[in-house]
Structure 1
Amino acid sequence: MGINKEHLLNAYEHGFIDRSTEKVGHHSPRIIINSNEDNVLSSMLDELEECRSFSISVAFITEGGLATLKSTLHELAKKNVKGRIITSTYLNFNKPKVFKALLGIPNVKVRITDKEGFHAKGYVFKNQHYTSMFIGSSNLTDAALKKNYEYNLKLTSLDNGAVIQHFNDQFDALWRDSAPVDRAWIKAYEEAYIEEPIQRKVLEVIEDRSIYQYRNATSPVIKPNVMQQEALNSLDQLRQTGKDKGLVISATGTGKTYLAAFDVKHFKPQRMLFLAHREQILEKSKNDFSNLIGESQSDFGIFSGNKKTDEAKYLFATVQTLSREANLNHFNPDDFDYIIIDEAHRSGASTYKKILEYFNPSFLLGMTATPERTDDTEIFSLFDYNIAYEIRLQQALETEILAPFHYFGVTDYEKDGQVIDDTTALSQLTNTERIEHLIAKIEYYGHSGEILRGLMFVSNREEAHALSSSLNMHGYKTKALTGLDTQHERQKTVQAFERGDLHYIITVDIFNEGVDIPSINQVVMLRQTKSSIIFIQQLGRGLRKHEDKEYLTVIDFIGNYKNNYMIPIALTGDKSYNKDRLRKSLLSRNIISGLSTINFEAVAKEKIYKSINTTPVSRQSFLKEMYVYLKNKLGHVPTLLDYHKDIDVIDPTLILHKYNHYLEFLAKIKEIELDIPHDSHQILTFLSKEISEGKRVAETFLIKTIIKGPVEVEAFQLEMRKKGYRMTDDTMQSVLRVLTHQFYTEPDKKKYGEPLVEVIGNKIQATHTLMKTLENPFLYEHIHQVLALSVENSKAYNQSSALTINQKYSRKDACRLLEWDKDEASTMYGYKYKHNTCPIFITYHKDETIEETIQYEDQFLDRNTLKWSTRSNRTLQSKEVKAILKAHGEGAHIHIFVKKDDDEGTEFYYLGQGHIDYDTLQEKQMNSGSGKPVVMMNMIMEKPVAYEIYKYLESSI
């Protein structure tokens, strides 16, 4: 699509001359500063994805910085889009490995300048119609592009602009005078390379990579990290309230073992028992406790199959050994006043329960990264439902406790249109072509650090051994480990791996937990994601910090698996199972914190998108599974508000969309027997379907008010205004039409039964039907829960306005919130003008194969401009069109609602008001002149469309 010269001039007038100008401008110049909402990387990737060529000149490049671009560069290579990079060897900052990685990118040429003082930071992306420039302070490092406080100016130029021409001339001259990077140059650089010392505070890392110490002349000082300090405070507060059990939920690598040691040191028990399921965990944990507590080595002992030091003050025991009758009876029930259960999600097993039922500690601490179980075992009751502290992956990344990661969702091997799926035979999984495909990907996406230390997760034992054999034949040093290997064999393999004698350990599921190898710098997933729990466990194997790596590379081979929708759930931690949020997360640049990035190759992204669309997340069995988990976690039947508060379970609106109300759902899954009057059922249905989402909270507050007694209309309006809520006389009448059911269609009136309120004179009061329902304590409590949920949901909406930009609404919602007399959703279709408002509903089908000259679909020309067409068989003289044009000119509001596809349900994103650009009005014939006429025009958006939504709508998936 071309760029309008006038609009570009207007944008520059706004950017450099007069910010108050109301002229329509596109591609405004702007300063980009890394923040939670935006960063240099996001804006740069937008331009890189669409460019025809690119030129980059930067002094410094890191492996992590290059990794952030690799997935996009891979897609550009498929389109034969090429680029040039000029960099330097200034201060020996760029490591030889970076140049090797650059050489492995087929569509990028690299040259080295020896220009003295070279410190340039310029990124130029040439599009078909314009060129974008980023000039500022960011080198090609992940920190500079995503985290550091940097200033970068983004400019847009047409080809004949002086600035871009000057840049191109300077770049070309520098390119001619620079040396090409090839294997010979890299070899020479590698031989001469000496890493320059960087003056900084030396940060030593001890065995638990989430704990930092400053080395001084005497001995290391071990201090709790941010997560540990907060957890220690929570545990102390828990005990002060008289609790004697607590569960800490903490992401892998965040230092659970040291947390326990810190708490034990503070608690000062007479004796402590540490329980784990593997002996190597005991050895490491004993050493960690000894390092931190600092008492005599003789106070620390192990009780396992090989060692039985039963008199130690701090005893570390395997569950398998201690749970044996003879061993257990060797101890008195009161021997230990502090007991710790490592990997507490296992504590539902009979061996754990046997030990816990035998001993009587003063305090019991459970630690786990994944309290959710895939085997329906419930553990929360063992700790009296006391969750002392909880930190998940996103939080740990935000606080920089873990190493950042770069995730690459890549397309698995494909041949003759067939991609790896659930039924693929072993011979296909390990054939020569797939192995070559695998090697190409792991070499392209690479790893941080000099020595490759990777974990590969595969589907079964046979595949693990066959893959290991194939990779060894290709020059890799690998070893397959499965559940059939002895503990000794596992330990020996891990030791060889840590020494650098192995490139990969290939395994099925035995390394999901209980293995601490901080040096892992690459995780390869060659199996379908059946569980977000297992995904995070396997990802977590590489998230511990280590001095030899800056980040973890995660390469996930995505085939035609029905559970692909689990991938964005696992990566984002968003377990609401809201399909819309999952779709958007595939396109968002900022869904993961810190330096970490999530990248998908195009075909892999489409496979996940398809899985999201086809997965029935509202099926009863799945909703029941979520219900059981939350019930187990809380220790009681969860309320709707409990769902809303808990990040680990579904959004409660999923239940209310499928069932008339929550009590009906509980009855369906046989949790309760429901026998309530029909009119009470109708009231619950109305509140659940129409009020619970809180899109306008005035109805909710009016119901809460009249339950206590009648209220005067003016008094209620005044109270709403004091709270800052929208409350005009028209709003008040709209609220009353909703609660008296006058707003609704006849089918809805029949469904919802008697109204909730009645108006007598200037007073509003509850109807007899509502008050009679409230006499039932069970129903009274549930109605209050629905209203409480509504209040919580309402916080996501701007209650001082009728509609909230970027939130979703149905056609019925629009009729109600725009204060129409009736629900006219069934006759609205694409748009309707009424009551001085014109809502426009657009289903956005983007098809880049359609020529622009015959493209009549509604389409955003950019984030500020919507090209819109009326219904067919309309002209500028049509009564309907003339009414809209005239009314808008006199101040009537046009509201734009958009969704990407009909599969997304009945709700649309509200993108704000649009203003007709009268200069663009035109009549056109559809279907190249043979069809009926339409009126086309541009709508100028009152506010630019939000970046993430715009990208989502414009994406081709």
Structure 2
Amino acid sequence: MRNSKLILNTQDENFYNQFVKLLSSCKAFYFNVAFINYSGLQLILNELKKCEERKVQGKVLTSTYLNFTELKALEKLKEFTNIQLKIFDCEEQNKGFHPKAYIFEYENEFKILLGSSNITASAFKSNIEWNIKTVLKKEENFLNDIFFEFNKLFELSYFVDEDFLNEYRDFKEENKETKRFSYAKRIKINAMQKKALHNLKFLREQNQDKALVIASTGTGKTYLSAFDVKQFNAKKMLFIVHREDILISARKSFEKIISNKEMGFFTGNKKDLDCEYIFTTIQTLSKHFKRFSSTNFDYIIVDEAHHIASKSYNCIKEYFKPKFLLGLTATANRTDKVSIYDYFDDNLAYEITLNEALDENLVSSFHYFGIEDLQSIDYQEVNLNDIQKLSKLLMVNKRVDYIISKMNFYDFSGDKRRALGFCVNKEHAKFMSEEFKKRGVSSKYLTSDDTIETRQLYINRLQSLSNDLQVIFTVDIFNEGVDIPNVNTLLMLRPTNSPIVFIQQLGRGLRKIEDKKFLTVLDFIGNHERSYMVTKALMGNRKIDKDSMKLSINNNFSNFSNAYIIMDEISKKRVLEQIENESFNTLKYLKEQYFEFKKAFNFNEIPRLTDFIEYTEYISILDFISYAKSYEEFILKVEKEENYKKICEDENFLKAIRFLQGLLPIKRPYEMAILKALIKEENLNIEKVSDYLSKYLHEVDIETCEHSFRYLAQEFFDSSQKERFLKLVTLDKMHLSLSEEFKMLLENDLKKQLLLETINYSLIEYKKIFSNTNYGKPFLKLYAKYNMQNIALLCNFNKIHSSFRGSGFLKYKEDFFLFITIEKDKFTKGSKYHNAFLSKDILTYSSKPSMSQDKGDGKKLIDNKKYNVKLHIFVRKFSHVDKKVQGFIYLGLANTFKYKNNKPIDLELKLEKELTSNLYEEFTKIID
């Protein structure tokens, strides 16, 4: 490393002397250190005082790691007016804090001490310590990396104020040496809750009176509802649960957040009618709801809201008239023919996926081991859907011994093994339980034949430390909706044929509790042709293309911050080969995914588009639409469905549904929101439509509304588009009406349902990705995916959109749009251009062959700032994957950094926001 020196504590030199020298001469300092003791702080007090007198500003970040930081040291540092002092709460973040970095800023450079020394007297001079001193110029990328990480940690941490010091002092005085201090125990709003609260407030500002939150068990839904009740300032609140055992914990959660309200129960045994906040079960409420007036509660919360379609909830749907209704659920999987989104006016306030929950540290960390199944088990001759043959294949004693040996080898977190084993069928579950018992492992099998009371009895025994039950084997009854907090082991004993089922099963062990450090997942991967499904499940929406999956496998899924995913070499090789050889766009593959989805949720009917919303990162209806032009036409290819066959014989219906689904996924809400309003109203003007759009956007742009009116009226369509798509509206002086052809379609109940379903699906998915931010013009969100055809719409291009084209280069007014493909394939092999990332913020780009530096667009390109030209950068790695065109990821704005040559001009572009590490790796790593 240039300008670097190893610093040791010896008779000739020591860390302390280097430290004091740098502190006494710098113009600012930044310390990131695991712990600070007064013994070390005292030794640098003189230099810190001089810094204060010289008005040298400092930031100091330390932690609660192992309770080593001394209270006296924090109190003394707080006396300095020039120092911002923050503390990283290790218990809240569920992470150790080990950095020892001291950054000193000078006029033209930074000097950095990086190594092993904390701020203690022994670390300064007498301990065996290794530290490196390095000098970095201010423009060096490495320095940007350092400050990016420091600022991220500083943002996550608490300021050390009097409240913190008092709480830390109390903790120290109680001498809780075996316990870990956490300032966060006062219930801090987590990232999911913060976003949801923002969205709930926004919806109410748009006069919406209900909303839905979807988040997995353990991510803080009940606390979220309490925070929102407080934000709403509800005078009377009703909290409804499905099971009585949840009531007490729900009330306790509310009491931690709200202290000025009287809280009570409304159950079979207790009816606290006079309390301001009441917690009840739907069973009791449905029988006695008329003991309250219809307007008694201004805020009602429905827990496990996916049950709201059942008759027992009619009192909520028809009798009570709250000012706001909030639905909480871990799944939007409907229980009848009605979508849960319909009940909440499609107001999905927030949904958190497994990957997001892991990233935000809302669920337990897990250690996944992909283990090669017993070599004598040959899956290749067995259809995985032939359950009887499959179970017979797996019910062998040798495999039981193998599973127990691996279970004992990897062991578990905690004092007792609490395992769930997921089996093929009831016979397999029974077999496993009996064979485990023979080998001295206490176990039980539970199936749908067992009553809820029996299931709960054995769940309680599994959780109890005093009971010897270690393993419950099951089939599908624990896939969803069951909360067994201290499960610490999952045994995946059947081939994974569906990423959705895998994720449901994984979720059963991810409840985060204090005594569980991690969940152990043992997955026995056989030689069947669907081994790669586990990778699809684990990656979810992290995958960009096949290379993403292969890169993650080769890197042991390093892009998971709160999980360890390890596959043995044989399983890894098998999965990589399958990913390479599988085409994800064939009818055979898509059909299998469709029927696995139906099977996972026991659908006896055709799944609706909104049924897929919760599982978009594992199965996408866009693939079905891409293959068959519409979801309805895909259904005709895989199902014998007379109703769909009949409606698809209507050419106008096909032209309408293809147009709507051809817009998916929508990149702005205007067109679909306008259509939804128009179906309700039959005619609209610009002033009226802005009220409907305000539900989706903080700021509604009137110019874009007008453009959307004209777009829907096909003013920007070419002749072939007008032939392909039905004209849904007519436009007269910015007054929009339904076309006669579209009205006729809407007279048919099924056609209307499917058309509205597409519109609703598009808007719910839009809100999930884009929230309610107005991205201006052009309407572009960082890291969202786009194709070149999207840009005309998002710029409000006011001519025929198909004329807005170019080969990797588009422009509209002072916006230039550069579309860059990194890797050449057979679709781009004729290209002479070399596009690559040189760093996280520098990439190369070759202009159109006709461009020169001294005129026109070429002149503006090389000096974009001078000409006020914005360069929008879109990048993809491959043009096609499995013969399917790939979208571009929007990387934001860039400016020309260097350039050379003419016709074409070769440029280096500097991004205004550098790439994330994951994206940089995606774009630069080559996978063989």
The alignment's TM-score, normalised by the length of structure 2, stands at 0.49
* TM-score computed with the length of structure 1 as normaliser: 0.48
